[in-house]
Every structure is written in structure tokens, then in C-alpha cells.
Structure 1
Amino acid sequence: MPEITALTTEILLPALEQAIDATVIIGQDNEIIFYNQAAASLWGIPREEVIGRNVDCLVPVRLRHEHDRYIDRNRETGHNRIVGTSREVEFTRADGEYICGELSLSKVEIGQGAKRQIYYMGVMKNVTDESQRRKILILQNDVLQALASDMLIQDIGELICRKVEAFVPNAVAAMLVLDRSRRRLSIAASPGMPNRYRTALDSMELSAEQVETLRTAPDSSNKVVWDGYSSLARSLGLERCCSSAIISRTGQVMGIFALYLRGDDTDLAWPQRVVSTSMPFCALAIEQNETRQHIAQLSNFDSLTGLLNRTSLHNVIERLIMRGGDSQFSLFMVDIDRFRDINDALGHVNADRFLIEIGRRIRGLVNDEYIVSRSGGDEFIIIVPDCSHARAEQFAEKLINAIARPLQVGENTLTISCCVGISTFPENGPDSESLLSLADAAARQAKGDGRGLYRFAGHEKNQVAQERLMLGSALRDSLSKGMLNLHYQPQVETMTGGLYGVEALSRWHHPTLGNIYPSRFIAVAEETGQIEAIGRWSLQEACSQMVRWDRDGVHVPTVAVNLSAVHFRNRSLPEYIANLLGQHGLTPDRLTVEITESVMMDSSSETEEVLHAIRRLDVGLSMDDFGTGYSSLSRLTRLPLTEIKIDRSFINDFEHDTNAQAVTMAVIGIGSRLGMTVVTEGVETEQQWRLLEELHCDVMQGYLFARPLPPAELEKWFRERQARGSFVIPSA
């Protein structure tokens, strides 16, 4: 036992004293009872100033108020997240130097029962250099990942600032970007900066001499972001500043990165190192942003005049439309007269100068809220918000007069004129395509009427064409957004009372134009080349709906879909239908394709081949609106039809018109002899029903039984009549 005592006093205490890591032992009352030389060097406080004092004198100021409670809790319960672990601790040494240490805290128990005493021993290893290197690597990795993820410069700047503020206690970081064309500094990020100071720094204009000084001496940036603002900064608790100009790889000043410190006793070595380390990251972020802006300039602006290009104009118009509310604006399309002659006579170089000058004249007329675009060639477009008719007339006259001024190009003085077409939202269309098309039509009309004129869209001479353009554009947009839908009109078996099938009918409700009749939009679809897309969509939607009805226990034997003549000139149609049926798991007899008499009149072998190929699939083929065209009976016998539909025009006065009855009877007889099902459309009265029953018409369709219904309403109609045992029941 004496040997052990001698070992403790003679060896262990000197060993602790001479240990290379700071060692502190805490007594029963949280007082410091041992403090070695390494600890004095680490904290910068002599031994005599800490022995006997509460250990919180060594704890970072922000944690002192809780420290005794943590220790006492461990003494009483034995639970603590710190004791028995290692953790990094950051603090400021007595001389202001930033220190990062790795702290290991151990509990030492001596004695038992009433004599039990608890001491704590803390060992702190100085890992400042390693910690700083690791933090710099973390900053580098985080910034590079942010740059790779296409974050905005404001977000990257905020990331850098927040990381730096976490590295340097009691600091506020700011990244300022220089607009070199105007020599104006603006704050890209400063998440922790007081608002008053941010306002003072933002939009600061520099002289050419200041920019040059920053370029040659980047560390002189405090003269810009501190010297003139230090009084304001100190009133807000910011005592010192470390900053540097951000310099690009080509030696240009791109901005300033500044780190403001709240305490005046902090050593500046670490803050300055953080600032200098952040410089290349800030430069990368700003360079990437400038590259993006340059790419955006190329993709969104006309390279010749610097005005918006057509793609950007479309986007701007759509954003204006999407604002909703009472949004309204006028679109002016300016078309230069005889530009081709100017181009041929003066050459491309002078023609480009001519267009630049036209763009400059237009810009001279507009306010900041106006939008100006060159959409190609000699076509300029201006959008004026909240523009009344009278104001539009005045602006159009200003445009015409401004462009008509003599223009000097090289050695040539040109006298020029232009025409202006004007469209307005919402009167002239629901989308950008409609507005541009109608303005273009109005400009062509103005050019046709003379030179130096303007015309509004909607003039009687082009109203029909404009409406067609507007509807065609709106239809294309609605089709792409899935705004069309199908309604279904039941077809009932005359003799049995069963459900024969349904006819799918396209419906279109536009949010701005309202309900558009099929007779109107189908014609537009045919004229604008969209009818094939609508037909294929109708087939797809009808098959999908049949599957949904089957799933819900609503058995619809077949669905009829009307296709236009265009579809039957496409040899891939039979394959498309076969794939569609396969994808939906439908047998071919569940689908009937309706054709019009124009298809029947088409004598091309290609059309006939397509019709026969469809029939070979066992898909039904129906002749729609039979008797309204010029089809021949000989053609009727040669086509693989399974069904003919008597047009509603024969049924309008069916009860009283013996000729109509005779024709209907003849068609029913022809269909019966050819093995075709005869469907009569437009049945609206019980008397018509009874007459058709007497004539042994196979199937009836009309408002007497049901109007065209949305899918959910047809399901309700089906269940009601199924419960009553017959589908040949007049609607209430």
C-alpha cells in the first residue's frame, strides 16, 4: 500500500502536469482543482487565475448559464450526454484566437456511501488546424454540389454565408455582386445581416477608380464595405470587418465577400482565412450565374436588336394571361413595308443596321411596363397592359409616325412606312397563339388596305378567318391539356328493349370560350389538321371508359366512335385499333367505327383496304348519316359495313310525312337484306318509336330515351333501366 501512495503522488500528478493535452480536474463544488500547463497554454489563462474558480470560466460564454445544471444532474442521476464521450468544442482564447478542441470528459468516483465523492476530469486536445481544414473541405464540397445542382446564385450565396457564420462564432457574412456595366454593388446573400445595414450597402455605386483599386488590391475592400459605414455597424453590434474583393479568373472584379464580427476581442487570423478561402467559391457561383444569364440572353433575346425573341414573347403572354382577374392588354404587330426591297438593295449588313434602328425607335416610345419583341424578319411586337381602344389607336399612330421618320443607313436616306395589326386580350383569344395569329391577320389587312395604316383584329373582312384561327389555337391547347371529353348516347333495341350500345360524342368546354358545339369545333379541327388527333384520342378514351364500366358492373355491349375521312387514308389505323383493343383487354365486337358518306364516296383503293382491314379485326363498321349525301347503293354493297344509321333529318316530321316513312322503310329493308343492323337517329316522340317498331327498325337512338350523357350519368341511367327490366323507356 505505501508503494501505491508514493506512485500516485510522485508519478501520476507530474504525469498529468506534463501531459501534452490540456487536463482539468473539477472538484465537488464544480471548482477547478487541477489545471496543467497545457491547459494554461490552450485557454491562454494562467493557473493562478483559474484554480478554485467555477469551471464555467473555461466554458464558451453562450453555454455558461446551463453548465452547472448539467454537472449537477450527472452527479445526482448519472445521466449525461457528455460524460464518457468525446466531442468538438469551439471557443475563443483569452487573446481572441479561435480554438477548436476535442474534449473527453470522465467521471471519477472516490469512496462509498456518505463518504462518496465525485470528481470530473476533462482532457482537451487542440484540433484547431484539423478542424479548420475539415470545415474548408465541407464548404468546398457543399458549394460544388450546389453549383452542380443548378441552384440560383442567391441560394448558393446564402449557403456560403450560413456555412461561414457557423465556422466563425458571432459573425455575419455577406456576398455582394458587382454589376460591371453600371458599377453597382448589390447584395446577393446576407441571411444574418441587420436590415438597416443591408439597406445601406445594397445598390452601392462605385467609381471607376474604386473598381480599379479593388482589382489591384482585393484586400482593400474594407474601404468600400466598412470605412464609410462603421458607425452604423457598431450601433448594430458589428465591431469589425474582414473582407476581400472577388476576382474572376480573367482578373475582373465580380463582387465583395465580407465577414462582420460582433466582438472586438476576436483574433482575425481565422476569420481572414475563412474569407480568403471563400473567394474562389464566390467567384465560381458568380461566373456560373453570368454564364446562365448569357445563355438566357441567347435563348430568350434576339441577338441583333437585344429585344425578346418569339419564344420568350409566348412565355410572357402566357404569364400575363395566367394572372387572371381583370387582366387585359393589347398586342401590336408592326410589319415594315417593302423590307425585302431594302434588304436586297442595301445588303444584309445595312439591313441589320436598319432593323437595329427600328428597334431603337420602338424602345424610345415605350414605358418600362411595356414588352417589346422582334419575332423574326421585319416583324416587331409590343404588348401594352391595360390598354383601352382609344389608347391603342393613339399608340398605333405614334408607332407609325416614329417609324416613318427618314432613316439614314450608310449613305442612303430611307423613307419608310409600316402597318400595324392590333389584337386584345381577352376579346381576341384565350392564348398567345390566337392573339399573335389575329394580330398578324389584322396587319395583313392593313397592308392590303394601303401603307402606314393600322387595323384591329375582329374587323368584318377577317372576322371568320380570325375566329377559325382563334378556335384552332384554343382547340390545340385544350387537346394537349386533356380538356376535351366524351359524352355517350344510348342506342336501344326496338324489339327486345335491350341496350344495343352507345355512341361516343366529343364535347368541349373551354374555360374562356365556354361550350363549343361539335359542329363548330370538328370543322375547325378538320381545317387545322387536328381531326386525326381527336379521333385517336376518342378511340383511346372510349376504350378506357368501356373498361371502367365493365369494372363497375355496367355492361355496355359496344361503343361507336366516329372517325373522319382523314383517318382511313392512314394505313396504320387498323394496327392502332388492334393494339388499343389488346391494351384494354376488349374483344373486337365491343367497338364500332362510324364512317361518313364522304368516306364511302372515296374510291381510292387505299381507303377500301383500310376499311376491309378494320373489318377483318371483327370491329364493326357503321355508315353514319346515311341518305344525306350522294353515296350509291353499288358502293354500299362493296363496303364491309355491319350497320347503317338513318339520319335524323328523315325523322324530324316522321309521324306526318309519308315520304319519309317510305324512305325509312326502304332503308330498313335494304339493311335487312344486306345483313346490316339499321339504327335510326333523332327519335324524340313515342309516336316515332311506335312507327319504327311497326317498320321493324333494329335500333333507335334519340332524346326520347336519353340525351348524350357524361359517363357517371350514363351509369345512373343504365342502373335505373336495368332495375325496371327494359331500356326502351322514355326519359322523364
Structure 2
Amino acid sequence: MLHTTGALASVDCRSFRYPPVPTMSASDCLVTEMPDVLLAALERADDAIIIVDSARRITHFNAGAERIWKLARAEVLGRDAELLTLKCLHADPIAEFRDEISLTRHDGSRIRTAISLSSVANGGVTHHVVFARDVTTEAERRARIALLDTVSDQTNRAVLITDTELDIRYTNAAFTSLFGYSAAEAEGRRATDLLAGRHTNRKALTRIGRRLIRGGPGGEAEVLIYTRDGEEIWVAARIDAFRDRKGRVKHIFALLEDITETRQLRSLQQLIMGALADEVPIGEIADRLCRRVEQIAPDVVCSLLHVDAAGLIHPLGGPSLPDDYSRALDGVAIGPDVGSCGSAAFHGEPVLATDLDTDPRWQRYKAMPLAIGLHACWSTPVKAKDGRVIATFAFYYREPRAPSNWHRRIVEACVNLGAFAIERKEARAEIARLAYHDILTGLPNRAQLRDLITTAIDACPTGSHVALAFLDVDHFKDVNDTLGHAAGDELLVQLAQRLRDQIGPEDMLGRLGGDEFVILLPQRNAESAERVAAGITEALAAPLKLGSKLMPMSASIGISLYPDLATDIDTLMQQADAAMYMAKQAGRSTHRLFSAEMNLLAEQRLALIAALRRAIAEGALSLSYQPQIRSCDGAIHGVEALARWHDAVLGDVSPAKFIPLAEECGLIEQIGLWSVREACRQLANWRRAGLSIPSVSVNLSPINFRNVTLAARLKDILAEYELPPNALMLEITEGAFMQDGAAALETMNAIRELGVGLAVDDFGTGHSSLSRLVHLPIRELKIDRSFMRDIENDAGALAIATAVVRVGQGLGMTVVAEGVETEGQRRTLAELGCDVVQGFLYAPALPPVAFERWVVEHSAGQARAMLGRFDIASVDRGAAKRSA
């Protein structure tokens, strides 16, 4: 089809002949004299061609014009050009014109039209030729392109379009912002030359490009590329192609997202958190961290060193460093001139050595790193929350240089992650120590003692012996009852020290719990073991000093012998325990060696079990109640119900004795349910009598939580005494959810759903994971009384108590401190934010009647204190009014 826009600008119509149009005058010769071939060409042109004479009458109107104006030529020819609504024809004189206009057609519709107006002279008469083309579709396409360009510039992802030779044809504003190149600087340059660098994974990009050229789909890649200033940026590149109708690639399109922080740095965090959750050893965690860092920063060699409490360096991670280099660092003391890491740890500030060969801090240590091609080192100290330097995180470089901004961002993230991981390691080491060591004395506890005894038995040579001594402090309960638990704890600490002084370096001392100790004596026969026991009895004859008081003390010791008397660990321990009871019966402050005659002890234990069964059946057990006081206002938070047993023959039997016995003989579940029922009955009576007791706490054994019907039983008891569920709190030890964890957790969830509260008793003395605690339906944490000892002066005890309070606060739990006996302890706990305290400071465990009197006196004291504060406030207000 012929395109004629502007083609008649120089036509002289005098050379053409064309039959005249009857309605036209002689002045219209431009049309009438046109040859047929030219007229036919104008008629078949795609564009509209209109000729207007000097009188502004339309003398030619081709088929293209009919299509654009939607007018038949018969309606147009000879009429005034005003019919065409072209303003360019209204001017006087009519001038040359070329523009794109919005044209309103005869039927009212509007189109976008490209208009060109030219003038043609014919025998002194001027004709005007209008060329018009419908560009509506093209204009809409341009508008869409402009809109897309605007949108592209608004996105935070960089857009890059190249031709098949990878020469850049388009970039958006985000590209400029991210890489520093303007559109003018980028266009025409090869994309790889502009962005790729030393460590860019060109192969990944090439694979995608080849796949696109072969007609395959696009793809994604994570690559390290470089800005105009040479800084590294990790991007996620989504690459695809624009194809023509035949499927041939015309342009390559890349959408680039900066993942330096959102994905690469976050991957470091996910790596550390995942490894910690999987209980991966700290050395392996450090190696994984270093490997990942070296993936996202290929130009560095990474190292993580631990700094112990003595200021000695120990390699944790550095998989790309030679083993002999890491071994050479182990045990080096930090100092001001000990390379980059030792200096950074010493000063607590980052240390950069851009050239190891000349840096004065490296002169004693440079030979080995230089030999393996490392020429620069940047080390940053890793600090614990208390400000201690616990590690260093270092980048080694293969050429003298300083770190880039990307490296600084990595280190900033890794220092925090390293601190978290190492502090977690230290915390877990402390938890492990607590799991196998007694908190009060630091001695091996029951769990570790069994391992130690088993090891000693397994290592016992033929013909040799292993002696085991059980030691129980005489009249220890009297110390607690008269002087308080703090004094009792101090006695046990001093006792442990005296026992250490009486045993040999190969012997082992441990604490079973309460006032019971075990002494393991490898390679000792009966005579040697009895000499040790006699020495202990003599050493304990001197009184202990508890505060300002001298406290006489003694202990009863029972000894058993492997393999003469027992051939397994359980029998050995049972026999030593039985011999200790015989020493008690012999008048205390002595020792006994187990003999066959001591089988009587087993009979006595059976008798004790029978007495306990009768006590349960006859209701001889009772509950005493110890108040729990809110720290914020001194009000009663609740009471703890504690089981007591007084036997007509045996006298007062300590819970430390009959509770383990009940667990052994299967009575503990019965005692637990009885305790709940009795505590609820007493609470209901108090409430009916007008005593405001918010709730009662009852201790249950882990065995109780193995019973799937426990929640239903509790619901029935609460209904029986018309108590709401929140009036009852069940105290459990960490063992309740460590043993039979799934069944116990199911029962605990059912109890919590019922509305009954759950408290973890003696928190911190077990070996449960904090991650387990997060998923348990616990309402209260109880700090064990052992942490109260010297909490005002012992930084360790204060730190542990602080940690428990923070854990409770973070998990939205109420924190209760047991064993509070002094005002100083109460004040310290209040400053820590501990919610509730209980202990001898307020009251011991009291029988119901005595507890009722205590509640009345406490309430009266609270009222007097409140009234006193009111009176003081009134006086202050009166004085203020008078002064005004």
C-alpha cells in the first residue's frame, strides 16, 4: 500500500489531466488535471489525503479519509473544510503544520491522529494538502510503555534489558540506585563487563543464557556482583527472554533483587539458630558459620577463636585454615601485640592489619600465615552481655587490603551470632554442670554418683575392692527448724569441706540430696574404709561456726563393700543405706559396716512402709500451709500445702524420708490426690469463714502426671468443694516433663485447659531445656531455696536468680522465690522484679489453725500500714494547704 504523507509538497498539477468534477469550478485544476495513475495511487493510500482549495472547500477526499472521519466523500466534496474540525485549516493564512492531535469525528468518537499540512501552488492558486493517519493504537502503546517505564522506575528491584549479545538496552531507576550507573552510562555496555567481577559466578549466568537461546525457560540465580565503586552485592537474578512470533530471542530481561541482608545475612542467622536447635556442638557450629561466610564473601578466609576466662585463645572454627596453624593458636595468651585476634581480645576493639609482613603486632606470628598466602587480617572482638570478650571473629585476606563494606556488614552480623552461640554454649555447660553437680556444695549429685560408682566397679581389678559409704547428718532437721534453711545450707557447705579434707585424691565425694552424702572409696577394703569413716567422725566432733553461733554436729555412716557384700551397684547402695540406718539406731555419730544381720533393716523398711500405708488409710497425714507474699504490696498471693506425718511410734517423719519411700512402694499417687482433696477442702472452709486466700499450691509427683485421668479427677474435686479452677495450683518438678515427656505434656495441657495452674518447683536445679519450657503450659516458676543463700553477696547466686526472673518475665509467668529468710533477700528479689516470695521471713509451714491466726495478724498489719500511709498523706495535704 502506498504511503504518501508529505509526498505532494512539490507537485505541479499543470502537467496532469483529470476529468473535471461537475460541482467544482475551474480553480480546482489540482485535482481535475491529475493523471489517472496518480489519482488511483492517492485513492489506495493507507493514509487519509484531503485537498482543500484556497476558498477552504474540500476538493479531494480519498478512501483513507473516509475511514478516519467516517464520512462518505459525497458528503464532503465541495463543502467547507470546517466540516473536518481541523483547527490548522482555520488559521488565516493557513501555514505549514505537522503534529499529533486528538480528532473528534462526525459521529462524536475520538481518535488520535497524526496530521501533516502542506501547500501546493497551481497557476497562482494555492491548494492545501492534508495527510492524516490514525495513530490511536500506537499512541495507546506509547502511553502503556510510558506507564510501564514509570512503574519500572518506582519498583525497588533493578530492571536490566539487553540484546542477545548482552549489550544493555534499558535500565530503570532502581538499577541506578543499586549499582551507581545512570541509564546513559549503562546503555550500550556489555552487562557482564559492567557488573561481573572476580568472584561473580559467571557459569550460573551462562547456563541460563544458553538455555534461553536454545528456546528453554528462564531461570533464577544468586550471584555476587559489583557496583560502580567496586562494592560487592549479592543479588537474586530472575532472567528470561522477550521473543518474536517465531520464538527467536530478541532481548534478555533480568530482574535483580538485592538479597545481601534479606537472604544472605539472614542465612547466617538461620544457620546458627538451626544448629543450636539441633544441639550441634559449638565447634561444628563455628565451622559451619565460617564455611557459609566464605561462600558469600569468597575473597576471605574466616576464623572464630574462643577466649577463656584465663585470657587464653582456643580455636573454635576455621575450616579453611591449616590444622597446624589452628593448633599453634591453641593456648596462646591474649595481649597488646599478639597478632590481630590476641590484640583485639586484649583491647576489646577491632584490630586491622592490612599487611602482616610489616604490622608490628604480627612480627612474632607472621611466618606461618605468610607461608600459606595470607597477607592481611581483620579481627573483631565478640563480647558477652556483661562486656567480657569471649571470642574473636577474624577475616584473613590473600593480599594486603582493608575490609569492604560488605565484609563489615557480615562481621556485624556474625559477631552478634557468635556471641549468642558461645553464651548458649556456656549456659549449656553450666546447665550440664548443674545436672550432674549439687548446686549448694558443687559435689557430684545422685545422677553422676551412679556413673562414678559404675565406672569404679567396672575398673575394679580382681582381688580388689570398692567401698561405698553413706553419710547422713544427725538431727539436721533441728538446724533447719530452729535456725532456718540458710543456716542449714551453710552447715552442709562446711560439712562438705570437712569431708573433702578427710578423703584421698582417688576418693570421690557426692551429695545425694538433703543431708545425705556418699563417699566412693576405690581400692579400699573394709578395714581401710572404716578408718576413713572413723576419721570423718572425729573431724566432725569439732563444732561448726554458723554466723555467731557454734553448732555441734555429727553424722551416721554406713559402709558396704564390692564384691564381698554386693555384686551390683543397686545392692551396694542399698546395703550402705541400710548400714547407715544401723549407725543411727546405734546412737548416731558412728559408722557401721553392712553385714548379713543387717537384713533386719530391710524388715524395718517394710515396717515403715506398712506404717505409711496405715497413716494414709487412717488419715494420719496432715497438711501444713506456708504463705506466699506478693513483693509489690505484701498481700497474700496464695499458700503452699506441705504434707506432714507424725507417727505415734516413729514421731515426726520427714517428708524427705517418707515421700521417696512412697514413690518406691507405689503410694505417692494416692498421697498426691489426697493432698489435693484436703487442700481444696481446707481452702473452701477458709473462704466460707471469710479468710481471703487466693489459691492453694499442692506438690505432685511425676508419677501423678502419668495418669491420663488426672485432669478429670481434679475437675471432680473442685466441683465437690465449689472452687473455681484458678484456686488450685499444682507444683511439679522438672522431672515431671523430662520423664515420660509426651504423656506428661498431654496431661499438663488437659489440666491447663481445665483452668488449674501449673508451677515448676525448684526451677534451675534440674537439667531441662529452656526450649522445652517455652512449649509447656506453665503459669509459675519457683526459684529453688538453694539460690537464696548469699544472694546478697554471691554474684553467681544473684546471676542465676536474675536469669530465672528474666526467663519468667519473658514467658509471661509469675516467679516465686522459696526459702526467703531475711529482709535483705526480700529486698534484693524485689529489685530483680521477682513477683512473689515465701519463706521463714514471713512464716514457716503452719497447721491450719496456726495459719488462720497468722493470716489475721498479717491482714491487721497490712491494714495498720495502709492507715499509717493514709495518715501521713493527710498530714502532707494539710500542710500543703496551710502553706498555700
TM-score category, normalised to shorter length:
0.3 to 0.5
- TM score, norm. by length of structure 1: 0.45
Higher RCO (C-alpha 8 Å, min separation 6) = 1
- TM score, norm. by length of structure 2: 0.38
Larger radius of gyration: 2
